[in-house]
Amino acid sequence: MKILLFITLFVSISIAEEIKFSALAYYEYSYYSDNYADVSNEFEFRRVYFGLEKKMSNTLSYKFLTDVGRRSEDGLLELYLKNAKVDWNTRFGKFVIGMQGMNVFDIQKHTWGYRSIDKTAMNKNNWASSADIGLGYYNNYNRLNYNVLITNGTGFKLPEDDSYKKLSTQVYYGEGKLNSKDGMNSGFVFTYEPYHSEGGTTEFKFIAGLFGGYAAGSFRIGAECGQLMDSDVDTSMNIISGYGNYSINNQFEIFARLDNLNNNSAISNSAILGVAISPEKGLTIMPNIRFISDDNSQYNYHYNLNFKFSI
């Protein structure tokens, strides 16, 4: 009932004030080959977004975006803010104020192009949150794009828990949204965040990553690699991910992805192979199979039927 009232409020405001309203849902059916799993198959919502955007002037706009997900402690669905931000374009660059998307893996997400199937490698392994509260600065010179964010570091679900802030920098050359435009991109991302350790010392977490992609006509490929270092831990974590997409026509695509995660004590590999079918505008159906293995030669197959609904 709360979600229904919230949607009704969104629509009413958008009609009254000519605000752009959007909605997006990721839904799936999963079957697991693991014979020891408590649940072998399930229907589930992965994400449900509701958004409001309004352009106040040629230089000022705002955006509100909500998300729906499961609470980790009891599994209940909850509604929370993902974006609550103002974009201010000036002759010195764009300033973003408030709850905003992070710059750690947003370009990689568009190159991969199937967030409805799975998160990018860094996001999936919880290296960084996809949104946080803070200040952002964006600018470009010709096709060279660069930005810097200063945020709490706790993400969009939790409040700040210390006096330190997270610094995130992204620099890339080329087209940022290869899932909708032809071109190429290459760049790097860097994050630095101090924190208090349990031993009372000040430690830090550091992420460095490289990424690149290329799209032309029906073909799109991309790859990324990254390293997570924690000064309070002896070992570092490394990620390599590669993905590709081939569009046969406007209604049928083939996609694949390979991930490798190495934390020096354990290695895990995963693969995704599937097709995307778009029978109607706003609806995409994506049957796919996933293979997951680790260094103990344990492996499982997941069979998924994913759906994407968009307005």
Is a pLDDT exceeding 70 seen at residue 181? Answer: yes
Is a pLDDT exceeding 60 seen at residue 135? Answer: yes
pLDDT of residue 37: 66
DSSP letter assigned to residue 11: H
Helices (H), 134-248: none
Domain region containing 70? 2-310
pLDDT of residue 75: 79
pLDDT of residue 261: 92
Is a pLDDT exceeding 70 seen at residue 36? Answer: no
Q: In this predicted model, what pLDDT tens digit does every residue of 237-255 receive, in sequence order?
A: 999 999 999 999 989 999 9
The overall longest dimension of the chain from CA atoms, in Å, is 60
Say which CATH number the domain at 288 has: 2.40.160.10
Mean pLDDT of 212-221: 96
Mean pLDDT of 161-188: 95
pLDDT of residue 25: 93
* Cβ atoms < 10 Å from Cβ of 276: 22
How far does the chain reach from its first CA to its final CA, in angstroms? Answer: 21
Number of structural domains the chain divides into: 1
Higher pLDDT pick, 286 / 301: 286
Mean pLDDT of 76-82: 88
Helices (H), 75-168: 106-112, 121-124
pLDDT of residue 45: 87
| Percent of all residues in the chain with a pLDDT value above 70, rounded to a whole number | 92
Mean pLDDT of 205-209: 96
pLDDT of residue 222: 97
pLDDT of residue 12: 60
pTM of the model: 0.89
CB 62 within 8 A of CB 54: yes
Tell me which residue of 239, 234, 236 sits closest to 223, measured CA to CA. 239
pLDDT of residue 47: 87
pLDDT of residue 200: 80
3-state secondary structure of 19: coil
pLDDT of residue 28: 94
Mean pLDDT of 191-209: 91
pLDDT of residue 296: 61
- DSSP assignment string, 57-73: SSSEEEEEEEEEEE-TT
Mean pLDDT of 216-221: 95
Is a pLDDT exceeding 80 seen at residue 50? Answer: yes
| Percent of all residues in the chain with a pLDDT value above 90, rounded to a whole number | 70
* Cβ atoms < 10 Å from Cβ of 243: 24
